[in-house]
């Protein structure tokens, strides 16, 4: 037996990205460094994933995630195949996993439940990437951290304030911010706070980096010193039936000119998109020069290319 050739790219030890927790702080930094390189020199990676096929399993709608994974796969020399609908509806999730691993090289899954992503990862021998679940949106957070570094040069010494529902996007941002030394405030209406066990994990990471992780219902407190303000829809996919109730509860948390004025002067505005103008954010703010929303969307492509390279370890070219 000959030794396998050395890895071209740093590896993700867990082999998956079922949540932000699958990658270490070191791997997160390596991934973001690679994402910067891939963005600067896309031509160098044209054949890196030659012959590799991604399975895209989407239980929910998507524009950015689905498109950027497909474009990433193609621009890296591979391809992607989309399958929509419930994962595990016609047959057990473990059978889905054991079929896909025979034909394709990596599974990207957008699911209602985190348990479905975890089950895919448990049963598939190929890498599984969480493309948004009820609990996490790790690919979004990677692109957002890339976007912030482009603006600030580094994360340390800055603060990101998330305003809205303390669910998937907030969780992933908090976990990455804590590991990168970025101060983070999660500002929610009472009853919509992030999961305590995820906050505890972020605070554990923050001990290493010195990042301050705040969870509050108080806008003034959370926005104080923030150089970027982030929001997300009030009713996530799967919660549309609660939209009317949430519109009432979240009204005071709308990101508008007055709310932005409570952050640092010139603070950036961020949103994972899709955005509902005049609900969680005013048109004035999202269309203003401080808005980074399309930079974030663009970086989905570059960050996910880096992720695919690290998970699939494409051959040198």
Residue 232 designated active-site: yes
Among 93, 119, 132, 233, binds ligand CP (CB under 6 A): 132
Q: Tell me the CA distances in angstroms from 122 to 23, 86, 146, one per residue in order.
A: 16, 18, 29
DSSP string across the chain:
-PPPPPPSS---TTS-BSSGGGS-HHHHHHHHHHHHHHHH-GGGGTTTTTT-EEEEEESS--SHHHHHHHHHHHHTT-EEEEEES-TTSSS-HHHHHHHHHHH-SEEEEE-S-HHHHHHHHHH-SS-EEES--SS--HHHHHHHHHHHHHHHS-STT-EEEEES--SHHHHHHHHHHHHHT-EEEEE--TT-PPPHHHHHHHHHHHHHH---EEEES-HHHHHTT-SEEEE--SS-TT-GGGHHHHHHHHGGG-B-HHHHTTS-TT-EEEE-S---BTTTB-HHHHTSTTB-HHHHHHHHHHHHHHHHHHHH-PPP-
Determine if 233 is a binding residue for ligand NVA (CB under 6 A). yes
Determine if 143 is a binding residue for ligand CP (CB under 6 A). no
The token pair at 143 is 């692109």
Residues 155-174 that bind ligand NVA (CB under 6 A): 167-169
Residue 140 designated active-site: yes
* Separation CA 186–CA 217 (nearest Å): 8
CB of 167 to ligand CP, least distance (A): 13
Residue 262 designated active-site: no
CB-nearer residue toward ligand NVA: 262 or 276: 276
Residue 277 designated active-site: no
Among 116, 140, 147, 291, binds ligand CP (CB under 6 A): 140
Determine if 12 is a binding residue for ligand CP (CB under 6 A). no
Among 273, 276, 295, 298, binds ligand CP (CB under 6 A): 273
* Closest residue to ligand NVA, based on beta-carbon distance: 236
CB-nearer residue toward ligand NVA: 264 or 272: 272
Determine if 240 is a binding residue for ligand CP (CB under 6 A). no
Which positions from 124 to 143 touch ligand NVA by CB under 6 A, shown as an x/- string? --------x-----------
Determine if 243 is a binding residue for ligand CP (CB under 6 A). no
CB-nearer residue toward ligand CP: 19 or 62: 62
Residues 74-133 that bind ligand NVA (CB under 6 A): 132
CB-nearer residue toward ligand CP: 177 or 272: 272
Determine if 65 is a binding residue for ligand CP (CB under 6 A). yes
Q: Which single residue is written with the structure tokens 């419930």?
A: 86
CB of 138 to ligand NVA, least distance (A): 12
Residue 300 designated active-site: yes
Q: Which residues bind ligand NVA (CB under 6 A)?
A: 132, 167-169, 232-233, 236-237, 272
Residues labelled as active-site residues:
110, 137, 140, 232, 272, 300
Q: Which residues bind ligand CP (CB under 6 A)?
A: 62-65, 132, 140, 272-274
């Amino acid at each position: 037996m000959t030794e396998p050739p050395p890895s071209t790219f740093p590896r993700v030890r867990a082999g998956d990205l079922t949540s932000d927790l699958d990658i270490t702080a070191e791997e997160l930094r390596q991934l973001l460094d690679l994402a910067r390189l891939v963005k600067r020199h896309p031509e160098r990676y044209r054949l890196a994933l030659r012959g590799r096929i991604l399975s895209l399993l989407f239980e929910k709608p998507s524009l950015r995630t689905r498109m950027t994974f497909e474009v990433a796969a193609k621009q890296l020399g591979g391809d992607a195949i989309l399958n929509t609908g419930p994962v595990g509806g016609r047959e057990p999730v473990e059978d889905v996993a054991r079929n896909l691993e025979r034909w394709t090289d990596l599974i990207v899954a957008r699911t209602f439940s985190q348990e479905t992503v975890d089950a895919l990862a448990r049963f598939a021998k190929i890498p599984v990437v969480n493309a948004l679940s009820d609990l996490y949106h790790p690919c979004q957070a990677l692109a957002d951290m890339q976007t912030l570094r482009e603006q600030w040069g580094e994360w340390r010494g800055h603060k990101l304030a998330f305003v809205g529902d303390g669910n998937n996007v907030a969780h992933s941002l908090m976990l990455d911010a804590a590991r990168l030394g970025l101060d983070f405030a999660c500002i929610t209406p009472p009853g919509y706070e992030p999961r305590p066990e995820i906050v505890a994990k972020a605070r554990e990471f923050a001990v290493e980096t010195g990042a301050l992780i705040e969870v509050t219902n108080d806008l003034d407190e959370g926005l104080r010193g923030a150089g970027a303000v982030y929001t997300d829809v009030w009713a996530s996919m799967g919660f549309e039936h609660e939209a009317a109730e949430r519109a009432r509860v979240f009204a005071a948390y709308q990101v508008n000119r007055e709310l932005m004025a409570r952050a640092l002067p010139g603070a950036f505005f961020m949103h994972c998109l899709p955005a509902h103008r005049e609900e969680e954010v005013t048109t004035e703010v999202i269309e203003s020069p401080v808005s980074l929303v399309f930079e974030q969307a663009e970086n989905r492509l570059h960050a996910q290319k880096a992720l695919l390279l690290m998970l699939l370890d494409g051959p040198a070219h």
